[in-house]
Chains A and B, each alone.
Chain A
Amino acid sequence: MHRTVKLYIDNNEVEVPEGTTIVEAAKKIGVNIPTLCYFEDLHPTGACGICVVEMEGTPAPKRACTTPVMEGMKVKTNSAKLRAMRKNVLEMILSNHNVECPSCYANGKCDLQELANNMAVDMNALPLILEDKPLDISSVSIIREPDKCIACGRCVVVCNEVQTVYALAFADRGFEVSVNTFFKEGLGNSACVNCGQCTVVCPTGALRERSEIDEVWKAILDPEKVVVVQEAPAIRVTLAEEFGMEPGLATTGKMHAVLKKMGFDHVFDTNFSADLTILEEGTELVERVKRGGTLPLITSCSPGWIKFMETYFPDFAENTSTCKSPQQMFGALVKTYFAKMYKIDPEKIVSVSIMPCTAKKYEARRPEMRDSGYQDVDFVLTTREFVRMIKESGIDFKTIPEEKAEKLMGEYTGAATIFGATGGVMEAAIRSAYFLLTGENMKNLDVEAVRGMEGIKEAELEIPAKELGNLKVKVAVAHGLGNARKLLDKVRKQIKETGKSEYAFIEIMACPGGCVGGGGQPYGSTIAMRARRGEGLYKEDKNLPMRQSHENPMVMGEEGVYAKFLGKPGSHKAHELLHTCYFERDICKGAVVKELTHKH
């Protein structure tokens, strides 16, 4: 039950629940008060001072982002004074900002740029006082450009409050203030799990991925190289919004077509290895249930989550599935299975992945990810990098006719495509685990309970298993590492107190919303946008002829990867190529302390 408050904004009466801030209340009457540090999904920091509004009876303006509404309040969002103040603050911020818009990664997506343009600021109002601030290039995933940082605090809030990774914090004070890491040793030497949520919320491009665009173009344009590409599920529902189409629309065919046109030699799809993951992970789950192995089993697709586990929850290493992520399964197969089938020297293969994720760049470079005898995945591009490449190539994405990925490692089911949304891996796994345990397909494939943007979701399933009788299985899904921490703290307590947990299977995705909300997704992705992309994936799933991973002919069929190459799910060869091990890491610098699990 919410009490409501009535107030007046620019003489419009508006009624909102108690505790609403002025900036939110103003949206109700269609006014977006200019903001800079404010981001709708984060607690406001109140740092920038742009959103000031005037309130009757209050001598000084108040911040609209942090001031809660009060009964009868009379708010003015625009006045000569407010305009002047906002402009002055912006000019101050710009006087300490590296203004290199044309080459900036955030160009066109930068909140500071947009505001400055909207308000027609005078770039010469104040002398430039920007000091020399070196780039932080210590991380393989994320680069920090401190001279673009406006100290709005969004990244600090997302890192500490939403993700509870505690890699970023403010250091020093006054003009010397900087967003920084443990002992200023750089992101690469910190607890950072490379989730990249900081890059998504950064309003100015001070945080971005380490770009591999040049390396990929170089490979594509090298006739000697065989360049193979895979794309994560989330990519297909994100491109549309970047090219002026309906947000969340699945553009799978266009995505494949544009990649071919750009010059990739073989266009496959990560969804293929997502189906494969389900077979491996499903088998692992069924085995653990049957043999009384460590439960709950926790998914391992999200490399941000894996490093988080290694850092903060090493006691859950045995619970975490030994399966590699779909990207890495794909990578291990490209330089073995694909090379063998197409009779290509793996030395010549350049394996590229397109991911909604910055942590995938780190994952690809983990030393243990070389089971093919080479680095399994050579280059990882984020969605943002991919969009830049499409734009650079000049190909008209909107009108390009659809094409299909190559069959060998491009065929996929609906179960694979929903990997990109929170709860998707769980749902896909349930569909196939049900089949593995009962020998029959589920009647209703939609597991609604694990869908949606609720931080922690639970479902209870009844599975009439053949050998084990009627199984009651409780599962949980967490997305965003703060939610993962909450869930695991609970599980840890249960295990400590009773020796076991109520859950048999848990899906964890590092990013809020799952991969559609990944750290490599477009700047400024809100929860609302992430939800629309997720809906796009569920829509594609619904319309696909096959919706269960075990139905994928190129995985389980006669021409499939098991029949032709791996044997059967959980086989020795599968273990060699598709499974991995985990390391404990120290919480200050993220360095390996010891090996936690071994590869079988």
Chain B
Amino acid sequence: MSFYRMHIIIPMDEEAVEHGAIEVKRELSELIEKNNLKDEVKVIETGPVGVVGKGVVMIIYPERLYYYNVKPSDVKEIFEEHIVKGRIVKRIEHDYGEKRAGKIVDYKTVGLTREQKRVVLDRCSIINTLDMEEVIAKGGYSAIEKIISEKIKPEEIIEEVKNSGLRGRGGAGFPTGLKWDFTRRTPGDEKYLICNADEGEPGTYKDRLILEGDPHKLIEAMIIGGYAVGAEKGYIYIRGEYQLSIERTQKAIDDARKFNLLGKNILESGINFDIEIKKGAGAYVCGEETALIESLEGKRGQPRKKPPYPVNKGLWEKPTAVNNVETLANIPAIIINGANWFKNLGAVNSSGTKVFTILGHVEYPGLVEVEMGTPLKDIINIYGGGVKKGKKFKAALIGGAAGVFLSEKLLNVSMDYESLKENKAVLGSGAILVMDEDTSIPEILFSILKFFAHESCGQCSPCRIGTRHLVDLIYKIKNGEGTEKDLDMMLKIVETMKETSFCPLGQSVIMPVKSALTNFKEDFIKILNKKNNEEVLNA
């Protein structure tokens, strides 16, 4: 094994690729090669580090220095100045605003890239996740190895997952072990495990980063899950727009097959399991598990009636467990470290960590993995760098479009299932949209309601017609033509949709609407009849 004096990490995600990461990597490698430095300097392509809006990022070890917005045209300078002469290219150094004169800023100590509690993202941006040997060296597939060598039975796995308290990270928070148990107990010789990677909740991109960053973790988890529930076939339903995720996951599947980690008689254990990727066509509702199954079967993606639940009658009417990407990505660590270790992470009834995506008016938008129960304000201030440009915090929309608007009164809330529930909010997908004092809540609500109207599958009348009325009403209100009656009408519609919609899409529209109208009532009241009043005044 050779010793390198310098490692250069180029994290790769959809955004980086778009901004020329592949060219940056190629040019840098060429320069290193041309100058005979390839025994001294190693370039590593890794999964994403978690920052967004910063273009191509480059992390240089051993300095732990962090460049951002690197363009292919910057490569020569970085090479000549930093790599050859050891001088930092200040122009593109990301110092998180902490101008420490003359000192290098360790990226692990500041902002979004600050040290986190990474369980599902532990290998992201550290190793080349496409290199099977690196993955295995960094603990990949060791949970499978443990299961095989210690002859752990499926029931024991399920018991362990149950004891860990792991709950679904897709939004509903259903106990994962229980879901697996139901699937296992339903009689049937053919069963399926589906990974729901149809990430469509606005402002959420955690699953994408896991798929881009460490697809092998997901594959390992699915093998374990398949073995536990009694499925020999798994599907990963990936949102079609996630091109890089699809490519990388497919490569990981191919590599795993080569290593006999997928396919027949895995590592001569007698376990059979294989995975196929299915691309989604971008409908939000297909994130709902039964709509996803319909789509997987080649039908129109709309939710099925429940019961029967997928654990009893899922894909092709066979018992099926559908798990979110992040949920599954917790499994290998639970097997390796045990249920108690996992349970000790996080909060009451909310074990483990959670990947949050912070966006909106924060200094450093991006993704962090922290323990469940971390206060909202810590996530926003410590990792997100606080409200952008020093403005005042106004609101945070938690959990995506089907989430809840929180006011500053709840900045201290612990981000876990139970604490949020107590405050009439939901964890949802873990998206945190921060809004500053200048934000118009009616405008944001308009955009959310347009989203729902666009994404309603149209199957049931409350959602199909309700979402349309809501768009009309909020449009009228935000333009200053609304009345008190319109606000009441909105509430009446969302209440009705909550009680009578066919699936969670329609049922959850009440959350953003009611929380906006309750927690930010004055924002709406002050613009009611505005146009009318102005006309009266002008007359």
Chain A residues contacting B459 (CB-CB under 8 Å) are 45, 47, 151, 153, 170, 177
Q: Contact: A177 with B489, CB < 8 Å?
A: no
Chain A residues contacting B464 (CB-CB under 8 Å) are 151, 174-175, 177
Known A61-B500, A88-B496, A126-B489; contact A175-B461, beta-carbon cutoff 8 A: no
A221 contacts B by Cβ under 8 Å: no
Chain B residues contacting A84 (CB-CB under 8 Å) are 496
A513 contacts B by Cβ under 8 Å: no
Chain B residues contacting A45 (CB-CB under 8 Å) are 459
Chain A residues contacting B285 (CB-CB under 8 Å) are 173
Q: How far is the CA of A49 from the CA of B465 in the complex (A)?
A: 12
Shortest C-beta distance, B421 to chain A (Å), equals 12
Chain B residues contacting A63 (CB-CB under 8 Å) are 305, 502
Q: How far is the CA of A541 from the CA of B456 in the complex (A)?
A: 54
Q: Contact: A174 with B507, CB < 8 Å?
A: no
Interface size, chain B (Cβ < 8 Å): 33
Q: Contact: B305 with A66, CB < 8 Å?
A: yes
Chain A residues contacting B507 (CB-CB under 8 Å) are 60
Contact with B along A124-157 (1 / 0, CB 8 A): 0011010000000000000000000011010000
Q: Contact: B461 with A93, CB < 8 Å?
A: yes
Interface residues of B in 450-482 (CB under 8 A from A): 453-462, 464-469, 472
Chain B residues contacting A153 (CB-CB under 8 Å) are 459
Chain A residues contacting B454 (CB-CB under 8 Å) are 174
Shortest C-beta distance, B197 to chain A (Å), equals 21
Q: Contact: A49 with B469, CB < 8 Å?
A: no
Q: Contact: A46 with B458, CB < 8 Å?
A: no
Shortest C-beta distance, B447 to chain A (Å), equals 16
Contact with B along A55-71 (1 / 0, CB 8 A): 00000110100111000
Chain A residues contacting B456 (CB-CB under 8 Å) are 173-175
Question: Which A residue's beta carbon lies closest to that of B307?
Answer: A68
A349 contacts B by Cβ under 8 Å: no
Question: Which B residue's beta carbon lies closest to that of A84?
Answer: B496
Contact with B along A71-106 (1 / 0, CB 8 A): 000000000010011001100110110000000000
Interface residues of B in 406-431 (CB under 8 A from A): none
Per DSSP, chain B at the interface is helix
Q: Give the number of residue pairs across the A-B interface with Cβ within 8 Å.
A: 103
Chain B residues contacting A392 (CB-CB under 8 Å) are none
Shortest C-beta distance, A34 to chain B (Å), equals 12
Chain A residues contacting B489 (CB-CB under 8 Å) are 126
Contact with B along A19-61 (1 / 0, CB 8 A): 0000000000000000000000000111111101000000011
A172 contacts B by Cβ under 8 Å: yes
Q: Contact: B500 with A49, CB < 8 Å?
A: yes
Q: Contact: B305 with A95, CB < 8 Å?
A: no
Q: Contact: B458 with A175, CB < 8 Å?
A: yes
Q: Contact: B458 with A85, CB < 8 Å?
A: no
A48's contact among B453, B455, B461, by CB below 8 Å, is which? B461
Q: How far is the CA of A66 from the CA of B308 in the complex (A)?
A: 10
A467 contacts B by Cβ under 8 Å: no
Q: How far is the CA of A92 from the CA of B462 in the complex (A)?
A: 7
A60's contact among B307, B460, B492, B498, by CB below 8 Å, is which? B498
B283 contacts A by Cβ under 8 Å: yes
Shortest C-beta distance, A276 to chain B (Å), equals 47
A222 contacts B by Cβ under 8 Å: no
In this complex, which of B300, B462, B472 has the most chain A Cβ atoms within 10 angstroms of its Cβ?
A: B462
Shortest C-beta distance, B76 to chain A (Å), equals 50
A448 contacts B by Cβ under 8 Å: no
Q: Contact: B453 with A175, CB < 8 Å?
A: yes
Interface residues of B in 34-74 (CB under 8 A from A): none
Chain A residues contacting B457 (CB-CB under 8 Å) are 173-174, 177
Q: How far is the CA of A388 from the CA of B283 in the complex (A)?
A: 46
Question: Which A residue's beta carbon lies closest to that of B489?
Answer: A126
Per DSSP, chain A at the interface is loop
Q: Contact: B500 with A89, CB < 8 Å?
A: yes
Question: Which B residue's beta carbon lies closest to that of A54?
Answer: B499
B324 contacts A by Cβ under 8 Å: no
Q: Contact: A46 with B499, CB < 8 Å?
A: no
Interface residues of B in 487-526 (CB under 8 A from A): 489, 492-493, 495-496, 498-502, 507
Q: How far is the CA of A85 from the CA of B499 in the complex (A)?
A: 7
Q: Contact: B455 with A174, CB < 8 Å?
A: yes
Q: Contact: A46 with B453, CB < 8 Å?
A: no
Q: Contact: A52 with B499, CB < 8 Å?
A: yes
Shortest C-beta distance, A475 to chain B (Å), equals 34
Chain B residues contacting A67 (CB-CB under 8 Å) are 307
Chain B residues contacting A462 (CB-CB under 8 Å) are none
Chain A residues contacting B465 (CB-CB under 8 Å) are 92-93, 95-96, 129, 175
Chain A residues contacting B305 (CB-CB under 8 Å) are 44, 46, 63, 66
Q: How far is the CA of A504 from the CA of B499 in the complex (A)?
A: 56
Q: Contact: A170 with B499, CB < 8 Å?
A: no
Chain B residues contacting A126 (CB-CB under 8 Å) are 469, 489
Shortest C-beta distance, A350 to chain B (Å), equals 44
In this complex, which of A88, A151, A153, A170 has the most chain B Cβ atoms within 10 angstroms of its Cβ?
A: A88
Q: How far is the CA of A364 from the CA of B467 in the complex (A)?
A: 45
Q: How far is the CA of A49 from the CA of B496 in the complex (A)?
A: 10
B283's contact among A44, A50, A92, A173, by CB below 8 Å, is which? A173
Shortest C-beta distance, B481 to chain A (Å), equals 13
A176 contacts B by Cβ under 8 Å: yes
Question: Which A residue's beta carbon lies closest to that of B305?
Answer: A66
Q: Contact: B460 with A46, CB < 8 Å?
A: yes
Question: Which B residue's beta carbon lies closest to that of A176?
Answer: B458
Shortest C-beta distance, B331 to chain A (Å), equals 30
Shortest C-beta distance, A102 to chain B (Å), equals 24
Known A61-B499, A85-B496, A129-B465; contact A151-B472, beta-carbon cutoff 8 A: no
Q: Contact: B458 with A89, CB < 8 Å?
A: no
Shortest C-beta distance, A159 to chain B (Å), equals 15
In this complex, which of B458, B464, B465, B466 has the most chain A Cβ atoms within 10 angstroms of its Cβ?
A: B465
The 8 closest A-B pairs by CB, nearest first: A177-B458, A49-B500, A88-B496, A174-B456, A66-B305, A92-B465, A175-B468, A173-B458
13 contacts between A and B (CB under 8 A): A47-B459, A48-B461, A49-B501, A50-B500, A52-B499, A60-B498, A66-B305, A88-B500, A89-B461, A95-B469, A127-B469, A129-B465, A175-B465
Query: B residues within 8 Å of A by Cβ?
Result: 283, 285, 300, 305, 307, 453-462, 464-469, 472, 489, 492-493, 495-496, 498-502, 507
User: Told that A44-B305, A50-B500, A175-B456 touch, could you supply 5 new A-B pairs with CB distance under 8 A?
Assistant: A60-B507, A61-B499, A63-B305, A81-B499, A151-B461
